[in-house]
Amino acid sequence: MPLSPARPVPARIFTQAERQAFYDIVAARRDVRNEFEDRPIAEDVLKRILAAAHAAPSVGFMQPWNFILIRDPARRQAVQAAFAVANEEAAAMFPDEKQAAYRALKLEGITKAPLNIAVTCDRSRGGRVVLGRTHNREMDIYSTVCAVQNLWLAARAEGIGMGWVSIFRPEDLRRILGVPDHVEIVAYLCLGHVSELYDRPELAAKGWRARLELETLVMEEGWTGAAPEEEEDQSPAIR
């Protein structure tokens, strides 16, 4: 089938106030764990947030994402139990002198947040050959991560906090949520209203790791970076 004719339309020019609002939202985004309030997210707000996620770019316009909304306390308790097992495994991976600091961190809000969302990537969507994914099959995963970022920023604009929980055995989460084998679980998110947040990323505020200077990460024309960091330099102790 031939492609239908289309013409570009004039690009919208945003005002200075609109541009600044966007940058303010980016700067104010936080990975929320413990600040969720116990009140539900209104359905119209949730719909706007999900619509923003669905507006994300995707390779070949395959739109590989699905959003599993999880409100049931028993199911969230099962997810939290799966997290607890994996979190203990994760703690043991750190040097002995860092394990206490790791365990002191609050790394999830699964049962405290009123809404959990699992974001998945259907790797079969669009068929066997997808425009733009012919030479890099992971592009559908990257597209789904773009949807997560859109969701995160839209939530912050609506006064909704969001935390991304990544410490799971994938097979445990797949079993609890009944996700089929051809679908990848990309993100497990906790959402809820917030009235207080850290004024900078929580792991920076608690001394786990400082933000890198942007100037040290920008390169011209090719790779000019340093060798990999030594293990002992990667995460300073909490102070």
* Band (226; pLDDT cuts 50, 70, 90): confident
pLDDT of residue 103: 87
pLDDT digit string, tens, across residues 31-55: 999 999 999 999 999 999 999 999 9
Q: What is the pLDDT of residue 1?
A: 62
Q: What CATH number is given to the structural domain containing 199?
A: 3.40.109.10
Q: Are 70 and 116 in contact (CB under 8 A)?
A: yes
- How many angstroms separate the CA atoms of 56 and 107, rounded? 27
Place of tokens 């339309």: 9
Q: Which residue is associated with the tokens 């949807």?
A: 147
Residue 47 vs residue 101, higher pLDDT = 47
10, part of any domain: no
Interstrand relation of 65-70 and 115-122 (parallel, antiparallel or unpaired)? antiparallel
Q: Share the mean pLDDT of the chain.
A: 92
Q: What is the pLDDT of residue 237?
A: 38
Judge whether 223 lies within some domain.
Answer: no
The pLDDT, as a whole number, for residue 230 is 62
Q: Of residues 101 and 130, which shows the higher confidence score?
A: 130
Query: Measured over all CA atoms, what is the biggest interatomic distance in the chain, rounded to whole angstroms?
Result: 63
* 110 within domain boundaries: yes
Asked whether the predicted pLDDT for residue 9 surpasses 90, the reply is yes
Residue 106 or 87, more confident: 87
Distance CA 47, CA 59 (A): 23
Confidence of residue 101 (pLDDT cuts 50, 70, 90): confident
Average pLDDT over residues 47-71: 98
206 three-class SS: coil
Query: How many domains does the chain contain in total?
Result: 1
Domain for residue 203, yes or no? yes
pTM summary value: 0.91
Pairing of strands 160-165, 65-70: unpaired
Within-domain flag for 133: yes
Q: Identify the domain containing residue 132 by its residue range.
A: 30-207
Tally of CA atoms within 13 A in the half-sphere of 17 that contains its CB: 0
pLDDT at 235 over 50: no
8 Å CB contact between 90 and 167: yes
**Sheet bearing 115-122, strands edge to edge:** 65-70, 115-122, 183-193, 160-165
Is the residue at 217 inside a domain? no
Q: What tokens appear for 207 in the block? A: 């001394």
Closest CA relative to residue 91, chosen from 80, 78, 102: 102
Helices within 29-94 (DSSP H only): 43-54, 73-93
Judge whether 93 lies within some domain: yes
Count Cβ atoms below 10 Å from residue 167 Cβ, excluding itself.
Answer: 17
Contact 32, 163 (CB under 8 A): yes
Q: CA geometry: angle at 109 spanning 104 and 112, to 5°?
A: 120
Beta strands in the chain (DSSP E): 65-70, 115-122, 160-165, 183-193
Contact 37, 192 (CB under 8 A): yes
Average pLDDT over residues 200-205: 91
239 confidence band (pLDDT: 50, 70, 90): very low
User: CB neighbours of 149 closer than 8 A, spacing ≥ 6?
Assistant: 56
Is 4 contained in some domain?
no
- Residue 238: predicted pLDDT: 36
